[in-house]
Amino acid sequence: MDRPRPVVHRLLRLASGASLLALLAGCQPSAGGGEPPSTPAPETPAETPTPTPAAVNDVDYAITDADRSAAKAAAEGGNAFGDALYDQVRGEAGNLFMSPLSVRVALAMTYGGAAGQTATQMAGALKLEGSAEQVHGSMAALQEELEDAASGDQLLAIANRLWGRGGEPFEGAFLQLTRSYYGAALEALNFGGDPEGSRETINAWVAERTADKIPELIPAGVIDGSTILVLTNAIYFKGRWESQFDPAKTKEADFHVGDKVIRAPMMAQKAKIAYSETADAQAIELPYEGGRLSMVIVLPRAKGGITALEGALAADGIAPYLQAMRPREVEVELPRFKIESSFTLNDYLQKLGIVDAFTGAADFSGISRGGALMISQVIHKAFVEVNEEGTEAAAATAVVMTRSAAVGRPARFVADHPFYFAIRDRQTGAVLFLGRLINPNA
Q: How many CA atoms lie within 13 A of 363 on its CB side?
A: 9
**Is residue 341 within 8 Å of 95, Cβ to Cβ?**
yes
Per-residue pLDDT reduced to its tens digit, 179-211: 999 999 999 999 999 999 999 999 999 999 999
The DSSP-derived string for 300-343 is: ESSTT-HHHHHHHHHHHTTHHHHHT-EEEEEEEEEE-EEEEEEE
Q: Which residues partner with 287 through β-bridges?
A: 294
Residue 37 binned pLDDT confidence (cut-offs 50, 70, 90):
very low
Q: Which of 7-11, 171-175, 331-335, 365-369 has the lowest mean pLDDT?
A: 7-11
As a whole number of Å, the CA-based R_g of the chain is 22
What CA–CA distance (Å, rounded) separates 280 from 332?
18
Q: What is the mean pLDDT of the chain?
A: 86
The model's pLDDT over 92-145, given as tens digits with 9 standing for 90+, comes to 999 999 999 999 999 999 999 999 999 999 999 999 999 999 999 999 999 999
Q: Are 281 and 296 in contact (CB under 8 A)?
A: no
pTM, to two decimals: 0.88
Tell me the average pLDDT across 153-176. Answer: 92
Evaluated on CA atoms 47, 50, 54, 60, the torsion sign reads negative
At residue 67, the pLDDT reads 78
Q: Are 356 and 96 in contact (CB under 8 A)?
A: no
Contact 425, 71 (CB under 8 A): no
Amino acid at 240: R
Using CA atoms, how far apart are residues 210 and 261, in angstroms rounded to an integer? 34
| Band (409; pLDDT cuts 50, 70, 90) | confident
Q: How far apart are CA 311 and CA 320, in angstroms?
A: 14
Domain 247-335+406-437 has CATH 3.40.50.300: no
What stretch(es) of the chain map to CATH 3.30.497.10?
9-29+54-240+339-403
- pLDDT score at 33: 29
* Eight-class DSSP state of 102: H
Give the percent of the chain with pLDDT over 90: 70
pLDDT of 5 reads: 33
CATH topology of domain 9-29+54-240+339-403: Antithrombin; Chain I, domain 2 (3.30.497)
Residue 40 has pLDDT above 60, yes or no: no
- The CATH 2.30.39.10 portion of the chain extends over 247-335+406-437
Give the per-residue SS3 of 219-287: CCCCCCCCEEEEEEEEEEEEEEECCCCCHHHCEEEEEEECCEEEEEEEEEEEEEEEEEECCCEEEEEEE
Of 235, 195, 227, the closest CA to residue 380 belongs to: 235
Q: Which runs of consecutive H residues, i.e. helices, occur in 32-171?
A: 65-89, 100-111, 116-126, 132-147
Q: CB within 8 A of 103, min separation 6: which ones? A: 14, 16, 19, 85, 345, 378, 380, 397
